[in-house]
Structure 1
Amino acid sequence: MESVISDADSCIVHQFEKMVELSESEINLLAALERDARKFDSGERLAFAGEYSDRFYTLRSGWACAIKTMADGQRQILDIFLPGQILGLREIGLSHSLTEFRALTPIEACPFPKQRLTEIFEKSPRLTDLFFLIMAREQAMLIERIVNIGRRNAAERLAHFIVEMKVRLNQRACEFHLPMNQSVIGDTLGISSVHVSRTFKHLRDLGLIDNKNGQIEINNLEGLIDLSGFDRTYLETYPDWTRLTKPSKRGY
């Protein structure tokens, strides 16, 4: 199903406006990436690993993920995508997709040809800077996920993930909805779904969180941060070299 999205409702425009004050021409260039919105059901694949890749997807609404499936059927979720993100941007230099992109919830996503980015790069050097900044942020997030899986225990991994999602959702309140079942969380953190259940119980027993039906309530944010060693630096997108950036708005 296709629809037209106004510039004012563009999620990608909102994401970029967190970093800079956009000109009208820049808004139009970005909003054009959301001109062909399509709906996908929860669990539906947007792209398969190994298939020819000539397009990206801008996530208009809902949650999606990138999955790498092993030969034995085990899965590793590499990315969790939120509204305003571009699916596949890290694979910009590849002709075939390395990962599978799948909707975690009902979503609206907007496919656009890779060549569309070339038009943006030619017309707006400043947006080019910001696209590279966003790619760097996604790379930093992947590096942190590798560290999380490789060097933190299950409780530390889950605590870190909860704080990360709170920050990424820009939630000042200590309660948010996490539309991921235990199997998906396990595939993200590299532990079994049974271990996810036990780890949630452990964090509850420590008085750090409460969780029920996908609703996460953080009772002790500082405790989660201390337990996981969370440092939000890898989520920051305000380096000095970008042009006309707004001051960083820190805070958990």
Structure 2
Amino acid sequence: MDLAFGNVRSCIVHQFERVVDLTEDEVNLLMTLENNEREFQAGEELTRKGKYNNYFYTLQSGLACAIKTLADGQRQVLDIFLPGQIIGLQEIGLKNSFTEFRALTRLKAHPFPKQSLMKIFEQSPKLAKIFFTIMAREQAMLIERIVNISRRNAPERLAHFLVEMKMRLGSCACDFHLPINQSLIGDTLGISSVHVSRTLKHLRDLGLIDNKQGHIVINDLDGLIKLSSFDSGYLETSPEWK
């Protein structure tokens, strides 16, 4: 995974090859879903809540998120999408979009109609299995996010979030760029942006991290893991199910 959120050679192929080796025919079949590249500016909607949506998106570069906005204007960030992810899979059975998908940075994505998945499923049961495996992983991530918000205090939530982002980015080093502001982090963790700022300072004072202008340096990974009770099992994907 490119830590600068740049291009991967094929969004879906990159994602699937992290799970299992693919044949040339399987790669070519997946790449038929990436024939319509579009650019979105930071803040631009990919889909709007409540509107009919017949498309998934494969994220080629940049960052996006899924947002649920309440009637009083409060919002909850449900997911942050990284290059290589497929946006919208969790809404596969819904006619209208249940959440809003929005670009966090300038990004490139490939929209493809949901019906295109039928061709994949019909021609390759193996690829269909991996689609469901990836959906299960995203469901596990959502469950862990609920636990994080509801059962951990602010330092534990933020520590867990930072470890998860490091793991998802595939970073071997303990420093990475995270170009999202404190308001969005707060909407992800269910705390105010002011509380995010105080909590970042608290983690710095503990010697666990340093941060400056969206760049995160983890000084004590074991300390963050211990503080947040982080268990990476929910991020581990395996197609070996019966």
- 1:98 match: 98
Preserved contact between residue 50 and residue 97 of structure 1 (Cα < 8 Å): yes
Shift of residue 33, structure 1, vs aligned partner: 1.6
Show the 5 A alignment for 1:71-220.
71-220=71-220
Deviations 1:185-208 (A, max 9, x none): 000000000000000000000000
Preserved contact between residue 130 and residue 239 of structure 2 (Cα < 8 Å): no
Preserved contact between residue 40 and residue 106 of structure 1 (Cα < 8 Å): yes
Opposite residue 21 of structure 1, the aligned amino acid is D
Aligned residues: 235
- 1:4 match: none
RMSD: 1.0
Q: Which runs of 5+ in 1 are unaligned?
A: 1-7, 243-252
Opposite residue 164 of structure 1, the aligned amino acid is E
- 1:36 match: 36
Deviations 1:45-84 (A, max 9, x none): 1000000011111111111000000000000000110111
Deviations 1:197-237 (A, max 9, x none): 00000000000000000000000000000000000000010
- 2:3 match: none
- Alpha-carbon distance in structure 1 between the residues aligned to 2:143 and 2:25: 34
The percentage of counterpart residues that share the same residue type is 71
- Alpha-carbon distance in structure 1 between the residues aligned to 2:213 and 2:50: 35
- 2:4 match: none
- Alpha-carbon distance in structure 1 between the residues aligned to 2:14 and 2:85: 10
- Alpha-carbon distance in structure 1 between the residues aligned to 2:113 and 2:64: 19
- 1:53 match: 53
- 2:228 match: 228
**What SS does the aligned partner of 2:33 have?**
helix
Deviations 1:6-37 (A, max 9, x none): xx821221111122111111101111121111
Q: Which runs of 4+ in 1 moved over 2 A?
A: 239-242
Preserved contact between residue 34 and residue 60 of structure 1 (Cα < 8 Å): no
Shift of residue 241, structure 1, vs aligned partner: 2.3
Q: Which runs of 5+ in 2 are unaligned?
A: 1-7
Preserved contact between residue 208 and residue 224 of structure 1 (Cα < 8 Å): yes
Shift of residue 239, structure 1, vs aligned partner: 4.7
Shift of residue 120, structure 1, vs aligned partner: 0.2
Instruction: Give the TM-score taking structure 1 as reference length.
Output: 0.92
Deviations 1:71-109 (A, max 9, x none): 000000001101111111000000000000000111001
Deviations 1:156-197 (A, max 9, x none): 000000000000000010000011100000000000000000
- Alpha-carbon distance in structure 2 between the residues aligned to 1:63 and 1:111: 15
